[in-house]
Amino acid sequence: MLYLQILVNGLLLGGLYACIASGFSLVWGVLNVINILHGSFIVIGSYVGLLAHQQFGINPFLTVPVAGLLLYGFGYLLQRGVINRAVGQPVLVTLTLTFGLELLVNNMLIAGFTADYKKVVLENPFGQIELGALFVPVDRLLSMVLALLLTGILYWMLRGSKLGRAIVAVRMDREAAALMGVKVNSIYAVTFGLGALMAGAAGSMMSMIYPISPIISTAYLGKAFVICVMGGLGSVPGAIVGGLALGVIESFGSLFFSAELATTFSFVLLILLLIFRPTGLMGRRGYE
Amino acid sequence: MSAPFFRADGVEAGYGGVQVLWGVGAELERGQIGCIVGSNGAGKTTFMRCIAGLNAAWKGTIEVDGRAIASHPPHQILSAGVALVPEGRRLFPGMSVRDNLLMGTFLRRDGSAAINADLDRALGMFPVLRERLSQDAGTLSGGEQQMCAIGRGLMSRPRLLLIDELSLGLAPRIVEQLTHILREINEQGVTILLVEQDVITALELADIGFVMDRGRIVKSGPTEELADDPVIREAYLGIV
Ligand SMILES: Nc1ncnc2c1ncn2[C@@H]1O[C@H](COP(=O)(O)OP(=O)(O)O)[C@@H](O)[C@H]1O
Ligand SMILES: [Mg+2]
């Protein structure tokens, strides 16, 4: 029964991980940019949740759209204004660029909010569902459902909408996409914005679960990276599978080892995976 | 006399610091089929890419229906009615044949009824694609891919259709089918400019031929005349 509880805890967290990773994976897949800023985007989303809660007593679930749209705008402008100039350069160049931007943004966050850990503590928690000996906190369940819903919408948008098809086309062959009349630079900016939106939305919900501080951005980034490699690059279903898997792995990792070692544990598993199944859990995919 | 429908003049272009085109010119009247032939590396693809806006023209003019398009972004050139079927087809793998064809309509604003009618027309031209509509375009045979690529180009309703390497790697039976369909497309009012390495096919299909060599057009004229030209007969047809 304990194992079942651990499994459920892992899945609850894994839904949020999927949401985080899908945005990171999308940007990596379409722009071939490893966005080091992704962790800070999540942290900003968390501060949106925290501030709204502190100032106005608003539940962080309600700030999910606010954080999402705010980060979309930020991501879009950042891509339009700065990163588009480096797209198409070798990965090391874009990596260095987003790393530099990460230093900038993260230090601004530290200057603005300090590095102290904060947390949203709900005055009226939603309580929990009890199934026999199994406990499912309702706020966690809600975050998982909402996070997976957002990820599902992203997936649907990529497959079923005109904009989504343009994004996929740019990912496959940006010259051929340009020949179809797609404005590649706009698609890059929209894609980067969508990646940031997923981060911001997840961050807002994370504010109820994880301690909030600018310095945990690297932990988020590491998770997104691990999931992305596990699930396969640029694939939304891969991000879902990888996210849920990482949630469960971390959950069991902290049971068998310790909470501090959970992340290390997942990186070790990642290395093993890379050795034995280098294309990721879902295999290599062309689409999404 | 009115200006020709398509006109390129003195086009120079290249990659990085390496110049490939050294003043390329070509003209087509509305409704004509033109064909560029020339050996590998002559610059045919580079010229097509310049017309479609994938490469900037360093110098020179390119006009379609009196509108200057040189060095404009690809989406503007597509809006001006010029579609390129690129060398290597460049379909979107992982997308269905249907989605590939629909990508050609990306800029269209005339509604799904008109688009569906055109999709139906394209499938009427290439019936094999109808059976493969929901199949991954990456799994098509070479001939089917070329059909899908041409269909995708047509879905934008171009007035000038550019095709880079029509027959490369395709069986003679397929090539014959394609030339037949291109005539049909042409009869519906689409001006066509193609690059073709098979000179016999090229001269047979086109009204006007252009011979490109090392980044220059070294000979051009009606295809009947070119077919009788001793230099061309020797160099490209292997007939003396
Ligand atoms: N992307 C590129 N970068 C650098 N040089 C190129 C590129 N594409 C083509 N070239 C060079 O330009 C010249 C003309 O190539 P191309 O236009 O493809 O000729 P063709 O289509 O007639 O075979 C060749 O010498 C080729 O090496
Ligand atoms: Mg070529």
How do residues B103-118 score in pLDDT, each as one tens digit?
999 999 999 999 999 9
Q: Where are the beta strands (DSSP E) in chain B?
A: 6-15, 18-28, 33-38, 59-64, 67-68, 82-85, 160-164, 191-195, 208-213, 216-222
Which atom of ligand 1 is nearest the CA belonging to B49? 17
* Residues A229-244: tens digit of each pLDDT: 888 777 899 999 999 9
Is the CB of residue A161 less than 8 Å from the CB of residue A205? no
pTM above the 0.80 mark?
Answer: yes
Q: A139 vs chain B: nearest CA distance in angstroms?
A: 38
List CB contacts (< 8 A) between B52 and chain A. 179
Q: Give how far Cα B135 sits from Cα of A28, B96, B112, B151, Å.
A: 27, 5, 22, 15
Tell me how far apart the alpha carbons of residues A31 and A65 are, in angstroms, rounded to a whole number. 25
Tokens encoding A123: 């005055």
User: Which of B79, B106, B156 has its CB closest to that of A166?
Assistant: B106
Tell me how far apart the alpha carbons of residues B30 and B207 are, in angstroms, rounded to a whole number. 12
Q: Do B95 and A173 touch (CB under 8 A)?
A: no
What SS3 state is found at B200? helix
With a CB cutoff of 8 Å and minimum separation 6, the contacts of B76 are: B53, B69
Task: Find how far residue B133's CA is from the centre of its chain.
Answer: 23
pLDDT of amino acid B237? 66
Quick one: angle between helices A262-276 and A217-231, nearest 10?
A: 30
Instruction: Report phi then psi at A223, rounded to 5.
Output: -65, -45
Alpha carbon of B16 to ligand 1 centroid (Å): 11
Q: Do A180 and B156 touch (CB under 8 A)?
A: yes
- Touching check for A170 and chain B: CB below 8 Å? no
Structure-model confidence comparison of residues A108 and A287, the more confident one: A108
List CB contacts (< 8 A) between B92 and chain A. 168-169, 172-173, 176-177
* Residues A165-183: tens digit of each pLDDT: 999 999 999 999 999 999 9
Ligand 1 shell residues, CB under 6 Å: B 15, 18, 20, 38, 40-46
Q: Give how far Cα B87 sits from Cα of A84, A173, A201, Å.
A: 27, 13, 42
Q: Do A180 and B102 touch (CB under 8 A)?
A: no
Tell me how far apart the alpha carbons of residues B25 and B2 are, in angstroms, rounded to a whole number. 18
pLDDT reading at A20 higher than 60: yes
pLDDT of amino acid B103? 96
pLDDT reading at B240 higher than 60: no
- Nearest residue (CA) to ligand 1, atom 2: B15
As to burial, measured by CB atoms within 10 angstroms (0-12 exposed, 13-18 middle, 19+ buried), residue A144 is buried
Confidence of residue B58 (pLDDT cuts 50, 70, 90): very high
List CB contacts (< 8 A) between A179 and chain B. 52, 54, 74, 78, 83-84, 86, 90
* Residues A38-62: tens digit of each pLDDT: 999 999 999 999 999 999 989 999 9
